[in-house]
């Protein structure tokens, strides 16, 4: 049954990101990012303090987050129904950014862990990486049209999310008017080719950051 499922791509309609159900996180609603993230901070000497989480009331910029490979769906690409794995990664990785920015996190039909495990055992699941990219690009365009209104934005990704954001920057941001909106990109858990001794490479006009306060 597993092999049969992996032989078939996830056939679901392209998501309409004007429908808020296709977002895991959006501002001003009760969702995966709207939870108490108060934490216990343990210092080097073992002392403990409680750090209360305070969502930013009127943040000056936005965060656009794309989550890593977590889906356990049986198909090569995930559906648009969030499972516990998507909800957990949002809590662990994205929600705390709400203390500094408005968080936007779209659902997308990512390549699943099930498919990657099948590849490692010699199977050939019908993975559609372009589907994952198309979804994120559509979500980005909806965010720009409905929500951005000239605000600065930080792009945040991890693993597959970083790979998709790298594509997004290359194909839809660098050299386009929206490049001026990008404060920075945190492409965690992936590699970004640069020229030896240089801060540019894959991106021609967006350099690596060398300081915490560097932007653009």
Q: Each residue of 15-28: pLDDT tens digit?
A: 999 999 999 999 99
Distances (CA, A) of 216 to 45, 51, 93, 102, 164: 38, 31, 23, 19, 19
pLDDT of residue 216: 80
Q: What is the mean pLDDT of residues 25-47?
A: 94
Backbone φ and ψ for 69, nearest 5 degrees, come out as -70, 105
Count CB neighbours of 22 within 10 A.
Answer: 19
| Two tokens, residue 39 | 């934490």
Contact indicator for 133, 168 with CB cutoff of 8 Å: yes
Answer with the residue of higher pLDDT: 184 or 11: 184
Cα–Cα distance for residue pair 171/74, rounded to 1 Å: 30
Count CB neighbours of 163 within 10 A.
Answer: 22
Q: Return the HEC string of 84-149.
A: HHHHHHHHHHHHHHHHCCEEEEECCCCECHHHHHHHHCCCCCCCCHHHHHHHHHHHHHHHHHHHHC
**7, pLDDT greater than 70:** no
Contact indicator for 169, 155 with CB cutoff of 8 Å: yes
Given 3.40.50, 3.30.70, 3.10.450, 2.60.40, which CATH number is that of 2-188?
A: 3.40.50
pLDDT of residue 128: 93
pLDDT of residue 152: 98
Q: Each residue of 47-69: pLDDT tens digit?
A: 999 999 999 999 999 999 999 99
Q: Which of 87, 55, 58, 76 is nearest to 9 (CA)?
A: 76
Cα–Cα distance for residue pair 199/196, rounded to 1 Å: 8
The helix or strand, by DSSP H or E, that contains position 184, with its residue range, turns out to be strand 182-188
Cα–Cα distance for residue pair 80/141, rounded to 1 Å: 18
pLDDT of residue 102: 98
Between the two ends of the chain, the Cα-to-Cα distance in Å is: 48
User: How much is the pTM?
Assistant: 0.90
pLDDT of residue 11: 58
């Amino acid at each position: 049954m597993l092999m049969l499922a992996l032989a078939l791509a996830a056939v679901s309609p392209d998501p309409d990101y004007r429908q808020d159900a296709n977002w895991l996180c959006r501002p001003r609603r009760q969702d995966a990012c709207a939870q108490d993230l108060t934490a216990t901070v343990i210092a080097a000497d073992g002392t403990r303090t409680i750090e209360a989480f305070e969502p930013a009331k009127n943040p000056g910029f936005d965060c656009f987050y794309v989550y890593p490979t977590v889906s356990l769906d049986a198909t090569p690409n995930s559906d648009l129904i969030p499972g516990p794995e998507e909800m957990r990664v949002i809590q662990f990785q994205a929600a705390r950014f709400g203390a500094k920015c408005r968080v936007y996190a779209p659902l997308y039909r990512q390549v699943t862990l099930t498919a990657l495990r099948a590849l490692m055992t010699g199977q050939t699941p019908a993975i559609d990486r372009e589907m994952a990219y198309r979804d994120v690009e559509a979500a980005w365009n909806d965010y720009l049209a409905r929500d951005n209104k000239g605000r600065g934005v930080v792009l945040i990704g991890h693993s597959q999310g970083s790979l998709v954001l790298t594509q997004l920057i290359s194909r839809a941001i660098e050299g386009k008017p929206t490049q001026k909106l990008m404060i920075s990109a945190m492409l965690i858990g992936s590699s970004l080719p640069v020229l030896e001794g240089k801060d540019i490479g894959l991106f021609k006009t967006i350099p690596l950051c060398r300081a915490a306060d560097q932007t653009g």
